[in-house]
Amino acid sequence: MPAARIGEALRMEPDHSGSLGEDRLTPKGNPLPGKYKHSFWRRSLVARNYDELEQSLASTVEQLEPYSQFFIDLMADGGSARLFIGLFLEQENIGIEISPDLQGRCSRLGISLGFDIYGPD
């Protein structure tokens, strides 16, 4: 699927996107070697602290729920969708909990939750 179709379907502009077979570019538009091996579409959202994480995710899911048929079709065509969460820790240990309700809403859309956790060092 061309990346432009994703933005059209979701009625949002990406921060960075690319389509299968196109020349690779950095998020700032500088050329990279090679061509994209798959299409992708990325939009960044920021939660200022861990206490806001679930509310930020819930708000994002609420924005995506009207487009549930798009996600169903995407999966049926072999595509996937993920909410990528990058956690930058200021201390050694924190607790993050995602409610069953929010997990269920993501699951019904076919959207996975992906976490990258970066330690304080």
Closest CA to 53 of 119, 120, 115: 115
Per-residue model confidence (pLDDT) at position 104: 96
Per-residue model confidence (pLDDT) at position 67: 95
Per-residue model confidence (pLDDT) at position 120: 80
Per-residue model confidence (pLDDT) at position 72: 93
67-103 residue pLDDT tens: 999 999 999 999 999 999 888 887 777 778 899 999 9
Pairwise CA distance, residues 26 & 13, whole Å: 17
Per-residue model confidence (pLDDT) at position 97: 87
37-58 residue pLDDT tens: 999 999 887 777 767 888 989 9
- What are the start-end ranges of the E strands in 43-118? 81-88, 111-118
Our separate counts of H helices and E strands in the chain read 4, 6
Per-residue model confidence (pLDDT) at position 36: 96
Q: What residues does each domain of the chain span?
A: 1-44, 45-121
β-strand pairing of 81-88 with 111-118: parallel
What proportion of the chain, given as a percentage, has pLDDT over 90?
67
Per-residue model confidence (pLDDT) at position 8: 94
Q: Mean pLDDT in the chain?
A: 90
